[in-house]
Amino acid sequence: MNKTIPIPIPILILIGIGIVAIVAVALARGVGSRAAAPQLSATEEWQLTGVCADLGKKKVAEKDDLQGTRRDTSYSAETRYDPAARRCYVLLTGRSLKDLRNGIGEQIISLYDGQTDTLLAVVKFSNKGYLVTGTVFDEKHKNTPTPWSIREKYPNKPFSQSGYENAVSQDALDYINELMGREKVDALCEAREGDPHALASSVECRLR
């Protein structure tokens, strides 16, 4: 009569852990293969870029319709389709047509998710082209400065509300530039007074 030899408990535990690990790896590979979206062809990307551009035109038309016959703001839109994120971004610029003799007009620049029409961020430039305010509304954005992060970054400087607000505004501008595929630019570059070309380019030096 054959006698069954019992397997020691530690070995059984190791075998169980090994089986669990193999199953976990297999599941991870399966989930990863399902999560990875197929790469777009050049034709598909070109078509989606065109659809994104149409969403920008639609946004401008909506703003113009809201103004009716009272056109005190000029709207324009720039779009970008990001094939990696599979998102369309619409950058809407509203430029005030009031008091243009004393500057280039206030500008409010808003970034939208083209597919959902969700406002992601907004920045405002003064009549002279200087960054005034900025806010990121995207809940996934985790880099917005806080009073505590400002104190940590500049421990030897006294905290100021204006400095904090400038940091938040700059963060919003950097966020917009990043999603629009631009380099981060310094919002504090100054336009030369009396030079209309410098004034006109002062916003472009920040948002390009």
Chain-centre distance for alpha carbon 208: 14
Say if 208 falls within a structural domain: no
Say if 101 falls within a structural domain: yes
* SS3 state at 141: coil
Say if 19 falls within a structural domain: no
pLDDT on residue 2 = 53
pLDDT on residue 176 = 93
Confidence check: pLDDT of 26 > 60: no
Q: How far apart are CA 131 and CA 134, in angstroms?
A: 8
Residues 89/180, Cβ–Cβ less than 8 Å: yes
Confidence check: pLDDT of 25 > 90: no
**CB neighbours of 177 closer than 8 A, spacing ≥ 6?**
183, 184, 185, 207, 208
Q: Which two tokens stand for residue 128?
A: 């002279």
**Domain with 103 in it:** 42-202
Confidence check: pLDDT of 39 > 50: yes
How do residues 54-94 score in pLDDT, each as one tens digit?
999 999 999 988 887 777 888 999 999 999 999 999 999 99
Give me the half-sphere count of Cα atoms (radius 13 Å) on the Cβ side of residue 124: 8
Q: How far apart are CA 104 and CA 96, in angstroms?
A: 8
pLDDT on residue 201 = 41
Say if 173 falls within a structural domain: yes
Say if 88 falls within a structural domain: yes
Mean pLDDT of 112-121: 95
Q: What percentage of the chain's residues is helix, strand, coil (to nearest 5)?
A: 45, 20, 40
Say if 168 falls within a structural domain: yes
* SS3 state at 3: coil
CA dihedral angle for residue 91, residue 97, residue 100, residue 104, rounded to 10 degrees: 0
Look at the chain and report how many structural domains it folds into.
1
Say if 12 falls within a structural domain: no
Mean pLDDT of 139-150: 80
Say if 14 falls within a structural domain: no
Q: How far apart are CA 94 and CA 4, in angstroms?
A: 83
